[in-house]
Every structure is written in C-alpha cells, then in structure tokens.
C-alpha cells in the first residue's frame, strides 16, 4: 500500500494487528502497532486488548505487563478486561503470588471494578483466598471507599473465606482514617466477641484515632482493656499514648505513663524521650525537660538532631 502511495487507515492497522495476533506472530503485530502510533494514529481499546491477549497467549507475561503500563503512561485508561487478561495469564501459568501482587497494585479507580476479577479467577479453578480479598479491602480503604470495602468483607464471608485479623485491622484503620470511629468500634466489638482476637495493631489504630478526635478518656479506657486482654504494649503504643496525652494537655497523666513505662522494664528508644521533652518544654517545665535530657546518656541513648533541636528550642524560650 505504501509503495502505491496509499496511506493505511486506522482500520487497516487494526485488521493487520488482529490477523498477526491470531497467527501468533506477536513480534510482527507489535511492530505494526509501533508504526501505527508513529504515524499519529491513536489505537483504541480493541487494539490494545488484542496485543495484550496475544502477548499473554504466547507466554510473554513480562512484555504484557510492560504493555499495560504503556497504556497507563499514555493516559489510556485500561478497563477491567485488560487487567483481567493479565491476571488470567498469570493464573494459567500457576503464578498465583504474582497474580495477587498484581491485583493489589491495580491502578486507582480500577479497584472499584476489581471484584469482577474474582469470577475470572474462579473460572480458572483458583478460588480467591484471604490474601486476594485483603488486597481488595486494602485498595478500597486506601481510597476511603469504606462502604465498598465492607461489601468485599461481606462477600468474603459469604464465599466461606474467613477474614483474619489483618483484614479486620485494615478495615478498622480505614474507618479511623476516615474519622468514622463509631463504625470502627462497632467492628472492634464484633471481633472481640466472635474473633479473631484483636492484636496490638488494632488497638494502636483505635487509640490513635481517639486521641486525634479528642476522646482522651476513651483512649485510656481502651488501653486498660488492652492490658486486661493480655496484649503487651509495643513501642508504637507508648508513642501514641505519650503523644496523645501531651497534645490534649494531659501532662500529669503523660508523666505517670512514662514512669510506668520505665518501671515496666520496656526498652525505650529515643522516641518517648523526644515526645516528653518537647511536651515539657511547651508546658514551660524547662528544668524537668533538662533533667530528662541528661538521663539519655545514663540510659545509653544518644540524642539525635531532632532531639537536640527540641531541647535548644525549649531553652531558647526559657
């Protein structure tokens, strides 16, 4: 056609690409695709999907994933079929871990349609497991789509896949970040009664949210319940409580808690000392802050740049 001076149309290119893919001549099809774009034609979704399907069918999984990223990079929004094509290929080749990883990385906006891929996995004889569902729940939570995350959780239960504490902690954290504390607590009470047992991450997320919303007494009450349940505070727990108590003006309670941390034998790093020093300086207790600063070397800790900055700033205000 070119020798005759006839310019191929987009339809011509699309037909050639389809024919080459059907004959498993994927490299030639990709070359035609490249020529098509070089000549200024914008491939449509059918052309992209044909190439994707051809690459997957011939076992070129890495190239297929790169081609999908090319679509995204050209601001061409792949649909759920395009993503499902990749997932289908990974599943057929026994690459379940890679399929789950890919599912969890699906582009923002596609997660809302990703439940459709579960049916595709089942058709391949692979029943989605807790990791699959967790990826979907986490994706919705990251986008603050908590109602959709809850529906995935319900679907998970209906299909006989028992959610674990990671699933519930992800949900609770999502509710907390969305300042939907009542719903987070509702879910917390549900698992406290039926299982799985809340872990330290669950408690930490809830306490941090309570402090951020100014619900100090509730946060302290939850901490006591956590201790009563046998959960042992970790360094993150201590930082959340100290920081929360100071920022809400509960200086005495923060000092008492810090003393309890020291007496418990919990190995403290620089974090609690920094929060305490900062809080004491801001409250005008410079001498106590200086004394605490000098305790660092006695406990084998070295102040970092931020710690020095906090102390210097406090002394400057003195």
CATH number, domain containing residue 283:
1.25.40.10
> What gap in Å lies between CA 165 and CA 195, rounded to an integer?
8
Q: Look up residue 195 and give its DSSP letter.
A: S
pLDDT value, residue 1? 44
Q: Is residue 66 part of a domain?
A: no
pLDDT value, residue 213? 93
Residue with tokens 């080749």: 93
Q: Is residue 117 part of a domain?
A: no
Phi-psi domain of 123 (left: phi exceeds 0; alpha: psi -120 through 50; beta: other): alpha
pLDDT value, residue 45? 74
Q: Is residue 269 part of a domain?
A: yes
pLDDT value, residue 4? 41
CB 53 within 8 A of CB 33: no
Q: Look up residue 113 and give its DSSP letter.
A: G
Q: Is residue 243 part of a domain?
A: yes
Q: Which two tokens stand for residue 74?
A: 């050209």
Q: Is residue 273 part of a domain?
A: yes
In the chain, the N- to C-terminal Cα span, in Å, equals 85
Residue with tokens 């024919």: 19
- The domain total for the chain is 1
φ and ψ at 213, to 5 degrees? -95, 5
CB 22 within 8 A of CB 53: no
pLDDT by 10s per residue, the chain, length 318: 444 444 667 787 788 888 888 888 888 888 888 888 887 777 777 887 788 888 888 878 788 878 777 776 665 666 556 666 776 677 666 665 666 666 656 555 555 555 666 666 666 566 777 877 887 787 788 878 899 889 889 988 988 889 999 999 999 999 999 999 999 999 999 999 988 999 999 999 999 999 999 999 999 999 999 999 998 888 888 889 988 988 888 888 888 887 787 777 767 677 777 777 777 777 777 777 777 767 765 665 555 434 434 443 444 445
Q: Is residue 253 part of a domain?
A: yes
- Here the contacts of 233-238 (C-beta below 8 Å, separation 24 or greater) are 233/200, 233/266, 234/200, 234/204, 235/266, 235/268, 235/269, 235/271, 235/272, 236/200, 236/204, 237/200, 237/203, 237/204, 237/207, 238/266, 238/268, 238/271, 238/272
Domain of residue 301 covers 236-318
Peptide bond into 196 cis (omega under 30): yes
Q: Which two tokens stand for residue 220?
A: 């302290």
How distant, in Å, are the alpha carbons of 34, 157, 216, 247, 263 from that of 242? 59, 38, 11, 9, 15
Q: Is residue 87 part of a domain?
A: no
Q: Is residue 210 part of a domain?
A: no
Which residue from 58, 72, 7 is spatially nearest to 30, judged by alpha carbons?
58
Per-position b or e across 136-161, b if 16+ CB within 10 A of its CB? bbbbbbeeebbebbbebbeebeeeeb
Phi-psi domain of 2 (left: phi exceeds 0; alpha: psi -120 through 50; beta: other): alpha
């Amino acid at each position: 056609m070119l020798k005759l001076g006839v310019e191929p149309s987009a339809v011509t290119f699309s037909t050639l690409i389809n024919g080459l893919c059907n004959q498993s001549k994927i490299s030639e099809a990709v070359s035609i695709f490249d020529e098509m774009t070089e000549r200024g034609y914008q491939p449509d979704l059918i052309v992209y999907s044909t190439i994707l399907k051809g690459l997957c069918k011939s076992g070129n999984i890495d190239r297929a994933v790169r081609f999908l990223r090319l679509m995204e990079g050209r601001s061409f929004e792949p649909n759920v079929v395009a993503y499902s094509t990749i997932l289908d290929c990974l599943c057929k080749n026994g690459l379940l871990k890679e399929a789950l990883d890919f599912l969890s990385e699906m582009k923002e906006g596609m997660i809302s349609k990703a439940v459709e891929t579960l049916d595709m996995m089942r058709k391949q004889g692979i029943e989605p497991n807790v990791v699959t569902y967790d990826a979907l729940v986490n994706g919705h939570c990251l986008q603050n789509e908590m109602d959709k995350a809850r529906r995935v959780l319900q679907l998970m239960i209906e299909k006989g896949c028992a959610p674990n504490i990671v699933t519930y902690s992800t949900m609770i954290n999502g509710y907390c970040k969305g300042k939907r504390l009542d719903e987070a607590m509702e879910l917390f009470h549900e698992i406290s009664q039926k299982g799985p047992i809340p872990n330290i991450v669950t408690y930490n997320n809830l306490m941090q949210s309570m402090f951020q919303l100014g619900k100090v007494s509730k946060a302290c009450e939850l901490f006591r319940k956590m201790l009563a349940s046998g959960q042992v505070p970790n360094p993150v727990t201590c930082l959340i409580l100290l920081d929360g108590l100071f920022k809400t003006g509960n200086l005495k309670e923060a000092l008492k808690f810090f003393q309890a941390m020291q007496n418990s034998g919990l190995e403290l790093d620089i974090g609690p000392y920094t929060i305490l020093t900062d809080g004491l300086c801001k409250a005008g207790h410079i001498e106590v802050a200086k004394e605490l600063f000098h305790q660092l070397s006695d406990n084998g800790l070295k102040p970092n740049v931020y710690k020095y900055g906090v102390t210097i700033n406090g002394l400057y205000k003195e």
